Amino acid sequence: RFEYIDWCNPEWSACLSTVYKYEDETPAEIEVTMSDTISVSADCETSWTVVPHGEDAGGCDVGFHWEVSLVRGDLGQRKFATGNDPKITFTDLYAGKYTVYYKLTDGCGNVSEKEGMLVVLGKDPTPYCINLSSAVMKNGVVELWARDFDKGSYPNCRRDTILYFTFDNAHPVWSKIDKYHYFMGDGIEVTGADTATLYLAGIAQKWIPGTKTSGKLFGCGVGDGSSFPVSKLKMTVWDAEGLSDYCEVTLSLIDSQGACGEAGVTIGGQITTPAGEAMEGVEVSLDAELAEYPRRSMTDEKGEYMFTSVAKGFDYEVKAESDRDVRNGVNTLDLVYLQRHILGTRKLGSPYKMIAADVSGDEAIRVEDLVALRKLILGVTETLGDTKSWKFVDKSQTMGNQPWPFRETMSHASLEESGIDNFVAVKMGDLNGSAQVNNANTIKNIQRNAGLVFSMDDRAVTKGEVIEIAINSENFREVYGFQMGLQMKGLEIMDVEGRGIDITKDQYAKVDKNSLRLSWSSHTAQSIRPESTIMILRLKAEQSGQLSEMIGIDNSFLNSEAYTGSDIT
């Protein structure tokens, strides 16, 4: 704009204006990182901040308007910002690949666009594996799937994520994930004439899309045979994003058909009582982390067992078990020995007797063991709780006055040669060695002072009458204990009361209203004057009759026995 003024004659004369117009049609240049990689946090989400920069050489850098979009499949977020270098944050992002669209409008209305990539890494899946054992075929080869070693591997974020299983961190060709193919390493496809060679050598793996796992060959007939009999390998778990983790597993192979030329070794032994008597019919188990195990064998009439063709190089455990006839060898004399040990008047003489006395299994000898045995003798209980009727102890173990802990299982680590494992059979509760070993259904008939005589006065009773019967003895001398059963006919048992001896309620049991069992014991010998009353039976007559015809000894469950000074050693 120009104005003309005559300064000599100060009046405005004229005005002339010229307009110069500049037009910028060049868009600004977007400067951003073309790709970025981040990871999700513990809650399987994350956020991402981008600071886009624009360069404009035409003076239109004032009034920048940004539009940034983040797109993954059908999902997307869009953010707007103004100015240069704005901070734009996207939240609630899950694992996956996102396309980033940048759009910049400068102050002159020019628009520029650019694309980038954002990769959000998820959390590796968690592998959970088991060791396996298998048997090779006649050709010394077995095919196993990686998924055979899976025990519940899982993705850490989306539970519906598909998992894939391979060996040793190799993965299939991802573009052929739905097709059968052979591969090795990082998705290298194996084709042509080399396929069979590499697979039979245990190098290549076979992808099985239906089960989303790879298969591989193992055994003495595969490659150099190093996968037989034991091999360490990795079971790798992959997700659809290519994330993976692995766990190490052990594969144990056995040759039950002689394909690998391995005859194996032998494990055997003998089971005897502390007195040296062989025990027949005991089940012995040989266990290992192998197919077809545990194996079992029964001892013969010599108490011997044997396992043949045991593969070398594995860990084995040998154990014997028997829970037959828990009352075999258990009587009131055992209670006498047990009482004397507990009270310290006479200790049990061997570690095996101490093991037999600990029927509660708490590695100590207590009153609780005495109570449990008496209940078993009287028929109040039929078992020893969780304690089996027999224990089998490593015969080679040296035991002192305190036998606990003792070995009941023989262990062989990486077995390379034949072994002999002998056991000592201990009948629980039998402290006097009266158990019948090879015919446990028949209890030994050991005579116990048949000379101890109980008597009562015979008389007639009337129905409905309550009577007290005095049980007497003329030869109750140095008696440590006795046991017997009584059967009543037409008499209801109401109570038992000690007179010459103390009889507590735990020392007798009313099987039913007409049957009575008694088990009395003392840690010291008891003597009573001849013709003295030992105890009182309180009865109620259900019918009239003669006592001598209504009371009798019953040996059907409990043998009548008495233990005097001449028996106790």
Structural fold of domain 460-564: Immunoglobulin-like (2.60.40)
Confidence (pLDDT) at 13: 61
Confidence (pLDDT) at 159: 73
Distance, CA of 339 to chain centre = 39
Confidence (pLDDT) at 442: 41
Structural fold of domain 132-254: Immunoglobulin-like (2.60.40)
Torsion over CA: 300, 303, 309, 315 (sign): positive
3-class DSSP assignment, residue 484:
strand
Confidence (pLDDT) at 253: 86
Q: b/e per residue, 116-148, with b = 16+ CB within 10 A?
A: bebebebbbbebebeebbbbbeeebbbebbbbb
Confidence (pLDDT) at 566: 65
Q: b/e per residue, 414-451, with b = 16+ CB within 10 A?
A: ebeeebebbbbbbbbbbbbbbbbbeebeebeeeebbee
Torsion over CA: 430, 433, 435, 437 (sign): positive
132-254 and 460-564 share one CATH topology?
Answer: yes
Confidence (pLDDT) at 368: 96
Contact 115, 99 (CB under 8 A): yes
Confidence (pLDDT) at 505: 94
Query: What DSSP letter does each residue of 253-272 carry, written as one string?
Result: EE-SSSTT----EEEEEEEE
CA pair distance 98, 115, nearest whole angstrom = 11
Given the structure tokens 């850098």, which residue do they identify?
61
Which strands sit side by side in the sheet containing 466-473, from one edge to the other? 466-473, 532-541, 491-498
CA pair distance 382, 389, nearest whole angstrom = 11
CA pair distance 175, 346, nearest whole angstrom = 83
Return per-residue pLDDT of the chain as tens, 569 residues.
666 666 676 666 666 676 666 677 789 999 998 899 998 888 888 999 999 999 988 778 888 999 999 999 888 899 999 999 999 999 999 888 999 999 999 988 899 999 999 998 888 899 999 999 888 898 899 999 999 999 999 988 877 789 999 999 999 999 999 999 999 999 999 999 889 999 999 999 999 999 999 999 999 889 888 888 888 899 999 998 888 999 999 898 888 777 887 556 889 999 999 999 999 999 999 999 876 789 999 999 999 999 987 888 889 999 999 999 999 999 999 999 999 999 999 999 899 999 999 999 999 999 999 999 999 999 999 999 999 999 999 999 998 888 999 999 999 998 888 899 999 999 999 999 999 998 644 444 454 555 789 999 999 999 999 999 999 998 999 999 999 999 999 999 999 999 999 999 999 999 999 999 999 999 999 999 987 899 999 999 999 999 999 999 999 999 999 998 865 76
Confidence (pLDDT) at 553: 93
Q: Number of helices and strands (H, E) in the chain? A: 4, 39
CA pair distance 190, 203, nearest whole angstrom = 10
Confidence (pLDDT) at 248: 94
Torsion over CA: 394, 395, 397, 400 (sign): positive
Query: What DSSP letter does each residue of 281-323 carry, written as one string?
Result: S-EEEEE-SSTT-SEEEE--TTSEEEEEEEPTTS-EEEEEE--
**First vs last C-alpha separation in the chain:** 141
CA pair distance 348, 355, nearest whole angstrom = 10
Residue 152 tokens read as 């519940």
Residues 6+ apart with CB under 8 A from 197: none
Kindly report the CATH class assigned to 263-445.
mainly beta
Query: What's the CATH number of domain 29-121, 3.80.10.10, 3.90.1170.50, 3.90.650.10, 2.60.40.2950?
Result: 2.60.40.2950
The structural domains of the chain, with segments of one domain joined by +, span 29-121, 132-254, 263-445, 460-564
Q: Amino acid identity, residue 70?
A: L
Query: What DSSP letter does each residue of 200-246 carry, written as one string?
Result: HTT-SEEEETTTTEEEEEESTTSTTSTTSSEEEEEEEEEETTS-EEE
Confidence (pLDDT) at 25: 79
Contact 229, 194 (CB under 8 A): no
Given the structure tokens 């070995």, which residue do they identify?
407
